[in-house]
Amino acid sequence: MRQSNLFTKTLKHVPKDEVAQSAVLLLRGGFVYKEMAGVYSFLPLGLRVLSKIENIIREEMDSLGGQEVVLSALQNKETWLPTNQWDDKNVDVWFKTALKNETELGLAFTHEAPLTKLMKEYISSYRDLPKYVYQFQTKFRNEIRARSGVIRMREFVMKDLYSFSKDLKEHESFYEKAKEAYYRVFERLGLGDNTFLTFANGGVFAPFSHEFQTVCEIGEDTIYLNEKAKLAINKEVFNDEVVENLGFKKKDFVEKKSVEVGNIFTLGTRFSDALGLVYADEKGVKQKVIMGSYGIGPARAMATVVELFADEKGIVWPETIAPFKVHLLALGDSERVREAAEKLYKDFKKAKIEILFDDRANAGNGEKLGDADLIGCPWRVVVSEKSLDNNTAEVKRRREAKAEQIALDNVVGICKT
Amino acid sequence: MRQSNLFTKTLKHVPKDEVAQSAVLLLRGGFVYKEMAGVYSFLPLGLRVLSKIENIIREEMDSLGGQEVVLSALQNKETWLPTNQWDDKNVDVWFKTALKNETELGLAFTHEAPLTKLMKEYISSYRDLPKYVYQFQTKFRNEIRARSGVIRMREFVMKDLYSFSKDLKEHESFYEKAKEAYYRVFERLGLGDNTFLTFANGGVFAPFSHEFQTVCEIGEDTIYLNEKAKLAINKEVFNDEVVENLGFKKKDFVEKKSVEVGNIFTLGTRFSDALGLVYADEKGVKQKVIMGSYGIGPARAMATVVELFADEKGIVWPETIAPFKVHLLALGDSERVREAAEKLYKDFKKAKIEILFDDRANAGNGEKLGDADLIGCPWRVVVSEKSLDNNTAEVKRRREAKAEQIALDNVVGICKT
């Protein structure tokens, strides 16, 4: 894409109330636009990153046998009464609204209840199980505070998968597979080294739920990390009994701030019980369906990547989710530079390498170099008078300090690796 | 995909209040699930169709130079006050809600105002224009009545593109290109022959806006159609003056019911004026940006296709948007049939032809044939004891009555055409 055509520009200033570094960089880079606290719109560069994250997650959910749906945001009271989730006294994140005839509606903050109700239409026999259903769907959560930028939003797309199993054994087998898929997702997003399986409150039906916590200063969670064992315990269950049951001692753990980038949860029969989702087993006896839920917020993962890898100059995207792999800069406005850069741009496109081409006539060299650092594409290729004197372009990885002069004919090949 | 794995099933009964034939078929086929009047969730088959429609539209918007974004649903009062769109007296489709601190919010029913506000961040000079920005984003509209199923929903994804131009000439040139792109979209969706450019109320800034109306009994609109001239006039502006200005006579037109599947609209300076979106021209003089809006509802297009082409047995999808190109049925539960069908399934997948394989062990032949007609994939391939006696499979197009016996080795090739 030509940067001269991109409608966004990098910004020097961002809203004063923005404290999260990731939000500041995403705003300055033109990835997102702030509508109000906790509500952001996604601009072309941001949407590209988000779509790549979603596609990685989608591939892994499909590999688990997941089937994709999109449920509605608008919700009837009746769906949520059986699980005691309608009353604002029990759930404090509802946005409520109403039809013209004053029928009260809610905007879904999660989808266990509506999906359980939906599945009653389709599950009646043991033959119908197990089933795995997921969506990328916009959740609305009326958070009192929204000070973490894109990490905690009032409106955000969530990937939520729900599992429906015949019995606990079938459930647990899937739960372990889902855990592995989550490891793969965070590895592919570039968060693998900093993300730890974390034991958290399990509710009524399991001793624990499992969170995927990324160690990160801005995090709103507190975990106790055993880096050697590659696991952590959420503060809420970090006590002698839990630590000992897991075979450790309290002193094996270090307190850390972290961002919850994913969680998996055994719901057991809470929802199938309340909403009557049962199946007939091989003997015709009615049994309750065992459920699990599995969430990841793509935009939160995006912001966490920014928090972790950004340097003083800007964002540093991993190749897997970068808006473009290569940022090509034409420095100076000579005909010679323009022609050489145009040729490279064509060659990159021919090689099907995603490229952002800073072809702006009215931007200075410093501005172009600064923008490239801020936007954070993995490879920067600079064509200038000086480089052309040697028939080269300067090639530099965003995450490295060193730049190299590469013969023009070899530039595309180098960036391909 | 194996039908034994698909979590949805075809249904015999649907909610009694469902009057639209398209909604009845989409519900019965397992494409959508009804949450309440005007609110539907999209199930795997339905989401596949919807995604294909969206991708066709996306390709055409990209070909116009459109840049994709996703704006928020949650809206601040302040954004909508300057255009007098906040007050429920002026706009009767708002869903309103509120933050915990009682700040009133709205759920966007369209995005002219918020996008105009956003573009003020990025447009300041004639060099920044023209720009074309679009999204696939969930709109909320508090319709009093919602009796047309998936055709008029209270929550639905809309493709809305907005154009920002320097002057009327630049605007009009894009407007004509957008019109051509819309023709291409409806052609590719299979609606081309039944969809007519329709002159409608233009508002303050243009003599007309243009709707794309698909002639269809269930339509809520009334148009006057001149089929020979391939154009129509919306009832709201069908008067002597308009008809004569367009060079026709009233008697050249026939009244028809129709569904508005798209519209394009000259907004002029209504929004740039109210919200202060200006640019400096080459002489440094401030000028108002000229805007246009261009909408298509993918789910409405989907339902309209169902309305138009369905027969008494079920849905008939055009190949471009079918959930799967081929529906493969194994009739009977003999080993021989199973093996031959499994081999065909593998061959289709190898040829990268999208295929739904009815491998269900517990479904009868009549049920399988009926489901295939209801779901409506363009090609049906049936493997049975009888066909295998001749080393063939029965191949039938959904839109034709005639079935053919095709040698097993040639089946994939036939369906490829």
Residue B14 has pLDDT above 90, yes or no: no
Give yes or no for a contact between A157 and A149, defined as CB atoms under 8 angstroms apart: no
Nearest CA in chain A to B73: A155
C-alpha–C-alpha distance, residues A365 and A341, integer Å: 14
Q: What is the mean pLDDT of the segment spanning B260-267?
A: 97
Whose structure tokens read 């939520």? Answer: A160
Residues of B in contact with A114 (CB under 8 A): 35, 41
- For chain A, residues classed under CATH 3.30.930.10 are 21-309
> Model confidence over B25-37: pLDDT tens digits?
999 999 999 999 9
Look-up of token digits 């039944």 = B194
Which of A5, A35, A72 is nearest residue B40 as measured by Cβ atoms? A72
Name which of B41, B70, B138 is nearest A42 (Cβ-Cβ): B70
- B chain contacts of residue A6, beta-carbon cutoff 8 Å: 67
Q: Which of A8, A35, A47 is nearest to B119 (CA)?
A: A8
| Contact across the interface for B67 and A76, Cβ inside 8 Å | no
Q: Do A74 and B140 touch (CB under 8 A)?
A: yes
- Residues in Cβ contact with A112 at an 8 Å cutoff, skipping those fewer than 6 apart: A83, A162, A267, A271, A291, A293
**At residue B203, does pLDDT exceed 90?**
no
Express each pLDDT in B307-323 by its tens digit.
999 999 999 999 999 99
Contact A140, A73 (CB under 8 A): yes
Query: Residue A96: closest CA among chain B residues belongs to which residue?
Result: B97
Structure token digits, residue B47: 């989401």
pLDDT score of A203: 85
What was the pLDDT predicted at B143?
Answer: 96
Of A79, A131, A155, the CB nearest to B74: A155
What pLDDT does residue B26 have?
A: 98
Place A75 in a pLDDT band, splitting at 50, 70 and 90. very high
CA distance to partner chain B, nearest, from residue A157 (Å): 11
Show the CA angle centred on residue B225, arms to residues B219 and B226, nearest 5°. Answer: 160
β B231-234/B195-201 pair status = parallel
Residue B94, amino acid = W
User: Is it the case that residue A168 has pLDDT exceeding 90?
Assistant: yes
* A40, A107, A118 ranked by CB distance to B97: nearest: A107
Nearest CA in chain B to A79: B35
Distance in Å, alpha carbon of B67 to nearest chain A alpha carbon: 6
**pLDDT for residue B89 is more than 90:** yes
Inter-chain CB proximity A100 and B67 less than 8 Å: no
Q: Do B39 and A107 touch (CB under 8 A)?
A: no
Candidate from B5, B47, B155 with C-beta closest to A69? B47
Q: Is the pLDDT of residue B15 over 90?
A: no
Contact B68 A47 (CB under 8 A): yes
**Which amino acid does the sequence have at B299?**
A
- Put simply, the answer to whether A74 touches B35 (Cβ < 8 Å) is yes
Q: Collect all residues of chain A within an 8 Å Cβ-Cβ radius of residue B109.
A: none
Q: Distance, in angstroms, between A165 CA and closest chain B CA?
A: 13
pLDDT at position A94 over 90: yes
Q: Is B255 exposed, middle or buried (0-12, 13-18, 19+ CB in 10 A)?
A: exposed
pLDDT over 90 at B204, yes or no: no
Q: Average pLDDT of chain B?
A: 97
CA A229 vs CA A364, B258, B341: distances in Å: 50, 65, 49
Residue A136, pLDDT score: 98
Judged by CB atoms closer than 8 Å, whether chains meet at A36 and B97 is answered as no
Q: Quick check: helix, strand or coil at residue A115? A: helix
Residue A17, pLDDT score: 85
Chain B: nearest CA to A121, how far in angstroms?
8
Question: Are A142 and B43 in contact (CB < 8 Å)?
Answer: no
Taking CB atoms and an 8 Å cutoff, what residues of chain A touch B74?
A: 35-36, 39, 95, 140, 154-155
B75: chain A residues, CB-CB within 8 Å: 35
Asked if this assembly's ipTM is beyond 0.90, the reply is yes
Whole-number pLDDT of residue B145 = 87
- What type of residue is B362? N
CB distance A138–B138 less than 8 Å? yes
| Chain B residues in contact with A127 (beta carbon < 8 A) | 362
pLDDT in tens, A227-249: 999 999 999 999 999 999 999 99
Please give the average per-residue pLDDT across A14-23, as a whole number: 90
Predicted pLDDT at B147 = 86
**Averaged over A167-176, what is the pLDDT?**
98
- In this structure, are residues A39 and A95 in contact, taking their beta carbons and an 8 Å threshold? no
Q: Count contacts between A and B (CB, < 8 Å).
A: 126
In chain B, residues with a C-beta closer than 8 Å to the C-beta of A105 are 95
Average pLDDT over residues B238-264: 96
Residue A146 has pLDDT above 90, yes or no: no
Q: What is the pLDDT of residues B128-157, one digit of tens each?
A: 999 999 999 999 999 998 889 999 999 999
Identify which of B8, B9, B36 has the shortest CB distance to residue A76.
B36
Mean of all residue pLDDT scores within chain A = 97
In percent, the amount of chain B with pLDDT more than 90 equals 96
> Cβ of B42 and A69 within 8 Å?
yes
Q: Which CATH architecture group holds B21-309? A: 2-Layer Sandwich (3.30)
- pLDDT value, residue A345: 98
| For residues A293-298, average pLDDT | 98
Query: Tens of pLDDT along B147-191?
Result: 899 999 999 999 999 999 999 999 999 999 999 999 999 999 999
Residue B360's closest chain A neighbor by CA? A127
Does the structure show a pLDDT above 90 at B2?
yes
* pLDDT band (50, 70, 90) for residue A204: confident
pLDDT at residue B138, rounded to an integer: 98
Q: DSSP string covering A141-207, please?
A: ---S---SGGGS-SEEEEEEEEEEESSHHHHHHHHHHHHHHHHHHHHHTT-GGGEEEEEEE--SSSS
The per-residue pLDDT for A387 is 96
- Interface touch A7/B76, C-beta < 8 Å: no
Per-residue model confidence as pLDDT tens digits over A379-401: 999 999 999 999 999 999 999 99
- Is A121 in Cβ contact with B11 (below 8 Å)? yes
State the smallest CA–CA distance between residue A29 and chain B in angstroms. 12
**Closest CB from A70, A107, A155 relative to B41:** A70
Q: Do B7 and A122 touch (CB under 8 A)?
A: yes
For residue B84, the distance in angstroms to the closest alpha carbon of chain A comes to 19
Whole-structure pTM value: 0.97
Closest residue of A to B68, CA-based?
A44
Q: What is the pLDDT of residues A319-376, one digit of tens each?
A: 999 999 999 999 998 999 999 999 999 999 999 999 999 999 989 999 999 999 999 9
CB-closest option in B35, B76, B122 to A36: B76
Contact A71 B41 (CB under 8 A): yes
Where in the sequence of chain B do the CATH 3.40.50.800 domains occur?
Answer: 326-416
CB contact under 8 A, B41 and A118: yes
Least confident of A101-110, A201-210, B334-343: A201-210
Residue A417 clears pLDDT 90, i.e. is over it: no
pLDDT band at residue A189 under the 50/70/90 scheme? very high
User: Across the interface, do B138 and A142 touch by the CB < 8 Å criterion?
Assistant: no
Subunit contact A35:B154, Cβ cutoff 8 A: no
Domain A326-416 belongs in CATH node 3.40.47.10: no
What is the structure's pLDDT at A363?
94
Between chains, do B35 and A70 touch, taking CB under 8 Å as contact? no
Task: Give the distance, in angstroms, between the CA of residue B337 and the centroid of all CA atoms in the same chain.
Answer: 39
Region A99-105: mean pLDDT is: 97
Sign of torsion over alpha carbons A48, A54, A60, A62: negative
* pLDDT over threshold 90, residue B16: no
Say whether A99 and B41 touch across the interface (CB within 8 A): no
The Cα-based distances of B48 to A285, B1, B304 in angstroms read 35, 12, 16
The pLDDT value recorded for residue A371 is: 98
- Say what the pLDDT of residue B239 is: 96
Confidence at residue B284, expressed as pLDDT on a 0 to 100 scale: 97
| Per-residue pLDDT at B413 | 96
From B274, B299, B305, select the one nearest B288 (Cα to Cα): B274
**Rounded Cα gap, residues B42 and A287, in angstroms:** 28
Kindly determine whether residue B97 and residue A99, on different chains, have CB atoms separated by under 8 Å: no
What's the pLDDT score for residue B124?
97
Q: Helix/strand/coil (H, E, C) string of chain B? A: CECCCCCCCCCCCCCCCCCCHHHHHHHHCCCEEEEECCEEEECHHHHHHHHHHHHHHHHHHHHCCCEECECCCEEEHHHHCCCCCCCCCCCCCCEEEECCCCCEEEECCCCHHHHHHHHCCCCCEHHHCCEEEEEEEEEECCCCCCCCHHHCCCEEEEEEEEEEECCHHHHHHHHHHHHHHHHHHHHHCCCHHHEEEEEEECCCCCCEEEEEEEECCCCCEEEEEECCCCEEEEHHHCCHHHHHHCCCCHHHCEEEEEEEEEEEEEEECHHHHHHCCEEECCCCCEEECEEEEEEECHHHHHHHHHHHHCECCECCCCCCCCCCCEEEEECCCCHHHHHHHHHHHHHHHHCCCCEEEECCCCCCHHHHHHHHHHHCCCEEEEECHHHHHCCEEEEEECCCCCEEEEEHHHHHHHHHC
Do B142 and A47 count as a contact with CB atoms less than 8 A apart? no
How many Å from the N-terminal Cα to the C-terminal Cα in chain B? 21
State the smallest CA–CA distance between residue B265 and chain A in angstroms. Answer: 22
